Amino acid sequence: MAKEKQEKSNEKPDLDKVVEESRRDFIRRLSIAGAVSVTGAAALYSGHSFEKAKHSKGMVRVLTEDNRLVEIPADQIKDLKPDIKALKARGKEGLQGKRWVMVIDLSRCRNARKCVEACQSAHHLRPYEYHINTLVMKESVNTPEYFMPKPCQHCDNPPCVSVCPVDATYKRQDGIVLIDNERCIGCRFCMAACPYSARMFHWQEPSQAENDKEKVYDVELNVPQKKGTISKCLFSADRIREGLLPYCVSACPNGVFYFGDENEDAVTNGTTKETVMLSELLQKNAGYRLQVELGTNPRVYYLPPKNRLFEFERGPEKEYREETI
Amino acid sequence: MNEIRFSSPKEQGKLDSVASDVLRNVRISKAFIIWIGFLFLALAACLYAYIIQLKEGLGVTGLRDYTSWGMYIANFVFFVATSLVGMLISSVLGLIGYNWVKPISRIAEIIAIAFAAVAGLVIISDMGRPDRFPFLFRFGRIQSPILWDVTVVTTYLVLSLLLWYFPLIPDLAISKNRLHGRPSFLIKVYELLSLRWEHHESQYRILKQAMRILLILIIPTAFAIHTVTSWLFAVTPRTGWDSTIFGPYFLSGAFVSGTAAVIIAMYFFRVNYKLEKYLTPFHFEKMGRVLILVSIVYIYFNLNEFLVPGYKLKTGDAIHLRELFTGHYAMLFWGVQLVGLVIPVILLLIKQMRRPMPMMIISVFVLAASWLKRYIIVVPGQGHPNLPIQNVPVEWVVYKPTLIETAVTIASILLVLIIITILSKLFPVIPIWEIAEDDHDKEKLSGNE
């Protein structure tokens, strides 16, 4: 996740550097500037690299789908909304060569719940609708309590995906389990099958349904959320496509989360932005995963809550009230 | 009116008497109109609840993220279970050669059709997006047990319909000329559905062959529908569902609820349709024995399902079993096991209890308990997931069905009653030719009473 810093320096785009920029950065720019040509929508996901340079005459260079560099008048550029098919296709594919992985250091979690809030605001959820939830855990009478943030475990052998009757939830090659709420029929078999209770269902109209009406559905963000369908943690697939850390990871004030690529054997801490070796981190800290005996092979690792950096303070119990249905 | 197969005057006389007894009920009486009118009115009221659910979402039910399958799924399992009795009576007992099932077989088939047909609708009422039901066919994944379920339930429904219709064809032909004074549309329907049946010996031979094939085919299909239904639960790693015996456990339970349903229907037809001659105490006595047998088999599976994990008390199982045996669901659990299973078996062992009236009362308890049993199988297991339920509104922790949910469930039961009423009132509920033929065969075997 070293991209994070590079990202920041790019805020004022320097046209000469455009060429050198990675495809991912380009796509981000593309969506911001809206400089999408007729063929742009296809290029958005097809993975072709792409150059552009503004000429003094108001011409724009555009790389077409079949890899030809062409020039078109700038005033003929039409802004295209990223079309849903393209978003879906890239959402299916995932980021090539990556195997996303998360490490959660339980010795640092003090239940600030910033991860929960950031996630809920990004995904337009209510305070009691969770993609990630921080639980109070206690293994047995004599062992201490500790806080445990629990996102979707993005299992490599996901029971939820096996049982889905319509391929609405699926496993991507980069390890992420996604949910397509335009496909989901709302049978909730996946909820029944998930041993981590990681999934939520829209029992009522989603909180921001009215505002999101016009939005094009992005399967990597799962917004707009839809009534009568499943939603769940997506490892912030939309953010990592832009080279950023997931919402929860960046929001944590206490350095609980690491996120990265298993293939690179590197994970970056969301708070300190420090990048460390995954294998070393797990080895030194006796990393483990939840309910391995079920054979689900989660992609989320936990570091045990030993030598706690913070005292365990339960704090006042918050009461959650269901919005009237 | 020359029924070739029943050519001798004696046989013809027998046929006439059976036909007139059975067809006496085939008419649109005032009582029928009132009853069906009531059913449709009640159905309309309950469907209003479903309209609310469609508009507001599944939030109008008591279902939430933790217990996300509730009354609807329990009801679905119950319906699939009860429909299996068609296979038990007609196929298993019929193929063994028990001739006494003949007057009951059509009743069993009607119950199978009604419950299997409505089971499909019940599952739609549980869907968050019923508008996307066609996705199951467009995007169906063969890996998902839901797809297996859809496939086998439809197959079973079709086979049951054929098993009801095939033996009905000669009856329709026999009846169509005997329906004086009935509405002309009904006579037309009989005319049409009887396919110009002429009672040729060769026709009967083909019919019997076809029925035999169906009776054999329906056995694996019936096993499949309930086994697959049990797998909806057993393929998940959830405590309470994660069991290897769920298939036979469900199957044996299915025969209990189905047999009870048939006994209730038999009693109703015996009394209200004045069919005492055909649904005799002898038949009740036999069905009582069937109920004892299937209940004992089911008790055996219950013993396995609860005693074995109860002996080991693995953490999750311990919580689950405590909840059932002494916790929140204890009343329901013991009520179902004792009042709905153990006590009925003990009572039925007494000969006097196998008379029509007491049998019917016992069966009502058994059937109600069968419904609740499905609830106990579906709901409690979800209340205790592997990771704790925290930071959610209190309503999410313990599932309580709402009024709307109950109304939608009642709608499905009303629909079953409507189908049973129409099939049993507008068509002969006792197979005429099979009864006539049966006596004819019996006489040939020189009085083996």
For residue A213, CA distances in Å to A225, A228, B366 come to 10, 16, 51
Alpha helices, DSSP H, located in B177-312 = 184-193, 201-234, 246-272, 281-312
Co-location of A176 and A235 in the same domain: yes
For the B8-440 domain, the top CATH level (class) is mainly alpha
- Residue A11, pLDDT > 60, answer no
- Count of domains observed in chain A: 2
**Final residue belonging to a domain, choices A82, A102, A123:** A82
In this structure, what token pair is assigned to residue A195?
Answer: 């041993």
Q: How far is it between the farthest Cα atoms of chain B?
A: 81
User: What is the C-alpha to C-alpha distance for residues A130 and A133, in angstroms, rounded to an integer?
Assistant: 6
Phi, psi of B260 (to 5 degrees): -60, -45
- Residue B233, pLDDT > 60, answer yes
For residue B422, CA distances in Å to A276, B26, B162, B239, B442 come to 73, 10, 17, 42, 32
Listed as own residue / partner, the contacts of A277-280 with beta carbons closer than 8 Å and 24 or more positions apart are A278/A101, A278/A103
Interface predicted TM-score of the whole assembly (ipTM), two decimals: 0.92
Cβ-contact A146, A109 below 8 angstroms: yes
Cis status of the peptide bond prior to A224, with omega within 30 of 0: yes
Domain boundaries, chain B: 8-440
Report DSSP state, residue B91: I
Any domain includes A323:
no
A14 sits in the region (left: phi over 0; alpha: psi -120 to 50; else beta) called: beta
Q: How far is B231 from chain A (nearest CA, A)?
A: 11
- Residue A293: alpha-carbon gap to chain centroid: 26
Phi, psi of A232 (to 5 degrees): -170, 170
Q: How far is A168 from chain B (nearest CA, A)?
A: 9
Co-location of A123 and A250 in the same domain: yes
- Residue A74, pLDDT > 50, answer yes
Contacts of A228 in chain B (CB under 8 A): 57-58, 127-129
Check CB contact under 8 Å for B140 and A318.
no
Phi, psi of B145 (to 5 degrees): -55, -25
Q: How far is it between the farthest Cα atoms of chain A?
A: 76
Per-residue pLDDT tens digits for A55-72: 446 888 888 877 789 888
Any domain includes A123:
yes
Co-location of A242 and A150 in the same domain: yes
Per-residue pLDDT tens digits for A170-228: 999 999 999 999 999 999 999 999 999 999 999 999 999 999 998 999 999 999 999 99
In degrees, rounded to 5, the angle at the alpha carbon of residue B387 between the alpha carbons of residues B385 and B393 is 80
Q: Which of B73, B79, B98 is nearest to B88 (CA)?
A: B98
Check CB contact under 8 Å for A321 and B393.
yes
CATH number, domain containing residue A152? 3.30.70.20
Q: What is the pLDDT of residue B326?
A: 96
Contact residues for B177 (Cβ-Cβ < 8 A; gap 6+): B1
User: What is the C-alpha to C-alpha distance for residues B235 and A69, in angstroms, rounded to an integer?
Assistant: 53
Q: Which of A131, A162, A166 to mutate to test the interface with B (most CBs of B within 10 A)?
A: A166
**Final residue belonging to a domain, choices A28, A52, A82:** A82
Cβ-contact B168, B424 below 8 angstroms: no
Instruction: Quickly state the pLDDT bin for B6 (edges 50, 70, 90).
Output: confident
- Residue B387 burial (C-beta neighbours within 10 Å; 0-12, 13-18, 19+): middle
- Residue B440, pLDDT > 60, answer no
User: What is the C-alpha to C-alpha distance for residues A4 and A6, in angstroms, rounded to an integer?
Assistant: 6
Any domain includes A319:
no
- Residue A306, pLDDT > 50, answer yes
Report the range of poorest mean pLDDT among B171-175, B189-193, B441-445: B441-445
User: What is the C-alpha to C-alpha distance for residues B226 and B230, in angstroms, rounded to an integer?
Assistant: 6
Contacts of A197 in chain B (CB under 8 A): 65-66, 385-387, 389
Q: Which of B64, B128, B146 has its CB closest to that of A165?
A: B146
Instruction: Quickly state the pLDDT bin for A155 (edges 50, 70, 90).
Output: very high
Per-residue pLDDT tens digits for A100-154: 999 999 999 999 999 999 999 999 999 999 999 999 999 999 999 999 999 999 9
SS3 content of chain B, % helix, strand, coil (to 5): 75, 0, 25
Number of CB pairs, chain A paired with chain B, less than 8 A apart: 145
Q: Which of residues 258-317 of B touch A (CB under 8 A)?
A: none
**Amino acid residing at A3:** K
Any domain includes A324:
no
Nearest residue on chain B to A151, alpha-carbon basis = B387
User: What is the C-alpha to C-alpha distance for residues A262 and A250, in angstroms, rounded to an integer?
Assistant: 19
Instruction: Quickly state the pLDDT bin for A315 (edges 50, 70, 90).
Output: confident
Any domain includes A315:
no
The residue range of the domain holding A102 is 90-303
Co-location of A34 and A145 in the same domain: no
Q: Which of B357, B132, B360 is nearest to B261 (CA)?
A: B360
**Final residue belonging to a domain, choices A82, A101, A126:** A82
Q: Which of A135, A197, A202 to mutate to test the interface with B (most CBs of B within 10 A)?
A: A197
Q: What is the pLDDT of residue B130?
A: 96
Q: What is the pLDDT of residue A324?
A: 75
Co-location of A113 and A68 in the same domain: no
> In 10 A of CB B199, how many CB atoms?
16
Q: What is the pLDDT of residue A44?
A: 47
Q: What is the pLDDT of residue A49?
A: 42
User: What is the C-alpha to C-alpha distance for residues B1 and B206, in angstroms, rounded to an integer?
Assistant: 22
Q: Which of A120, A141, A163 to mutate to test the interface with B (most CBs of B within 10 A)?
A: A163
User: What is the C-alpha to C-alpha distance for residues B261 and B186, in angstroms, rounded to an integer?
Assistant: 28
Check CB contact under 8 Å for A192 and B133.
no
Co-location of A46 and A140 in the same domain: no
Sole residue written with tokens 């909820």? A191
Cβ-contact A54, A15 below 8 angstroms: yes
Co-location of A17 and A145 in the same domain: no
Any domain includes A135:
yes
User: What is the C-alpha to C-alpha distance for residues A231 and A88, in angstroms, rounded to an integer?
Assistant: 16
Co-location of A150 and A272 in the same domain: yes
HEC sequence for chain A? CCHHHHHHHCCCCCHHHHHHCCHHHHHHHHHHHCCCCCCHHHHHHHCCCCCCCECCCCEEEEECCCCCEEEEEHHHCCCCCCCHHHHHHHHHHCCCCCCEEEEEECCCCCCCCHHHHHHHHHCCCCCCCCCCEEEEECCCCCCCCEEEEECCCCCCCCHHHHHCCCCCEEECCCCCEEECCCCCCCCCHHHHHCCCCCEEECCCCCCCHHHHCCCCCECCCCECCCCCCEEECCCCHHHHHCCCCCHHHHHCCCCCEEEEECCCCEEEECCCCCEEEHHHHHHHCCCECCCHHHCCCCCEEEECCCCCCCCCCCCCCCCCCCCCC
